[in-house]
């Protein structure tokens, strides 16, 4: 790959040295990688709550998550599921990076997180307790769990990081925005290390129902594993998921000084708004295109440099056709020459965590020289005419990748990741805390 910008303009380079995924496809890098290679969707009928009032009754639940694996039982009891996911993902990422929090300069470590709903599902459960038994039945920690900022604050408190701290709530682009903001902090010299990503635990009746009411989700209830089908002609809406992912970002010299394994280099970031509608994307995709163009420009890259696109690919009729248009707008003819895959069939649409999960998967794909398929892409349609890697995954060397995230309110975010060093022969290295 060729970096076209004068390197003296941006002397601090940022690399990814740790990935901490909590997903329905797998927890930890090794299990997630194995889940991707298996090529199966874990989507099934919801059993967390009664979904019978809704047209949609399926989701990507995480059934094998045990908070006690990642924290002591006292902390696990104090946190709601959103908080547990957050701490677990951070712990996995630190372990994967080989970083001991106590050996870091705490003031030079940032925490940047994203979540669309934060602890709203926990608040929903507590409201039911309040209505049934009164205020004394409400969890006294409710105020400390319901706000999205609990994500970054809990990480900072748990691991002792006192650098810049923030959690954004920019819908389904939150995780990608958090990564982009962390990249800026390292690039500009404010910190040397950052934990960045997203967390979401939306599987409760009211939170789920809010999306069901607006008919945004698939109603393929009889074939749940086939319901999430990005870019396919027969797609009928997204499938909700839950989960989290935290990346460890480091300034390059900091990572090299300790002999860190480097998954990828974070090269660029772009963020725009459609200024069009709260739920529908701008039809021409112009601002989504511009987000990708900004990300590539800050990376010093052009369309010819891009080898792979990790698509937002929500499996909704409007998003997928608009994203296709936007990718073609940003990459021109190059868009037809490279794989473009969407991985949400593996873990559902985890809202504010999705972008971070997808960034992690892109790093794994780059490190492992293999791109995952777009599951359930069986029937092409005219408006979606790119190479979406249908059927099964593909051996493919990725030197430069663009990862997209789009959200309610017209939010568009894109990051550019680049290969650092030769590909691994056996895919990602499993961390000791893979669970």
Question: Do 317 and 218 meet the contact criterion of CB atoms below 8 Å apart?
Answer: no
Single out the catalytic residue among 125, 312, 367, 377.
312
CA atoms within 13 Å, Cβ hemisphere of 352: 30
Q: Does 349 participate in catalysis according to the annotation?
A: yes
Helix (H, G, I), strand (E, B) or coil at 371: strand
Single out the catalytic residue among 122, 125, 172, 228.
172
Single out the catalytic residue among 349, 363, 367, 377.
349
Please list, residue by residue across 110-147, b when 16 or more beta carbons sit within 10 angstroms of its beta carbon and e when fewer do. bbbbbbbbbbbbbbbbbeeebeeeeeeebbebbebbbb
Q: Does 172 participate in catalysis according to the annotation?
A: yes
Dihedral of the CA atoms 257, 259, 263, 264 (nearest 10)?
Answer: 30
**Distance, C-alpha 34 to centroid of its chain:** 18
Q: What secondary structure letter does DSSP report for 261?
A: -
Nearest to 313 by CA among 400, 246, 372: 372
Nearest to 252 by CA among 21, 78, 14: 14
Nearest to 297 by CA among 1, 2, 5: 5
346 Ramachandran zone, left/alpha/beta (phi>0; psi -120 to 50): alpha
Q: Does 384 participate in catalysis according to the annotation?
A: no
Positions marked active-site: 172, 312, 349
């Amino acid at each position: 790959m060729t970096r076209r910008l004068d390197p003296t303009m941006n002397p601090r380079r940022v690399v990814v040295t740790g990935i901490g995924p909590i997903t329905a496809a797998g927890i930890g890098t090794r299990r997630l990688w194995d889940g991707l290679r298996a090529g199966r969707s874990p989507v099934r009928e919801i059993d967390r709550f009664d979904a019978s009032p809704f047209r949609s009754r399926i989701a990507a639940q995480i059934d094998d998550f045990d908070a006690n694996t990642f924290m002591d039982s006292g902390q696990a009891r104090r946190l709601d599921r959103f908080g547990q996911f957050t701490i677990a993902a951070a712990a996995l990422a630190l372990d994967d990076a080989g970083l001991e929090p106590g050996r870091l300069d705490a003031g030079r470590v940032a925490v940047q997180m994203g979540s669309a709903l934060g602890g709203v599902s926990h608040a929903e459960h507590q409201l039911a307790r309040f209505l049934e038994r009164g205020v004394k039945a409400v969890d006294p920690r409710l105020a400390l769990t319901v706000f999205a900022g609990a994500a970054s604050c809990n990480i900072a408190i748990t691991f002792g990081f006192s650098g810049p701290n923030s959690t954004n709530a920019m819908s389904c682009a939150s995780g990608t925005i958090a990564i982009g903001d962390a990249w800026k902090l390292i690039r500009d010299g404010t910190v040397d290390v950052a934990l960045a990503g997203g967390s979401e635990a939306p599987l409760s009746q009211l939170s789920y129902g809010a999306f069901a009411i607006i008919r945004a989700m698939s109603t393929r209830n009889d074939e749940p594993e086939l319901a999430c089908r990005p870019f396919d002609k027969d797609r009928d809406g997204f499938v909700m998921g839950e989960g989290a992912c935290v990346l460890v970002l480091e300034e390059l010299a900091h990572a090299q000084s300790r002999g860190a394994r480097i998954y990828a280099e974070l090269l660029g970031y772009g963020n725009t708004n459609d200024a069009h509608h709260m739920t529908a994307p701008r039809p021409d995709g112009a601002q989504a295109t511009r987000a990708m163009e900004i990300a590539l420009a800050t990376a010093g890259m052009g369309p010819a440099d891009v080898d792979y696109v990790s698509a937002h690919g929500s499996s909704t009729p409007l998003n997928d056709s608009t994203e296709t248009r936007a990718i073609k707008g940003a990459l021109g003819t190059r868009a037809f020459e490279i794989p473009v895959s969407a991985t949400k069939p593996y873990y559902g649409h985890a809202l504010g965590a999705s972008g971070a999960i997808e960034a992690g998967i892109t790093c794994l794909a780059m490190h492992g020289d293999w791109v995952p398929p777009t599951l359930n892409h069986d029937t092409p349609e005219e408006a979606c005419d790119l190479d979406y890697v249908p059927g099964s995954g593909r051996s493919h060397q990725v030197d430069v990748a663009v990862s997209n995230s789009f959200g309610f309110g017209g939010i568009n975010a894109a990051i550019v990741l680049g290969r650092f060093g030769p590909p691994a022969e056996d895919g990602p290295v499993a961390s000791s805390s893979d669970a």
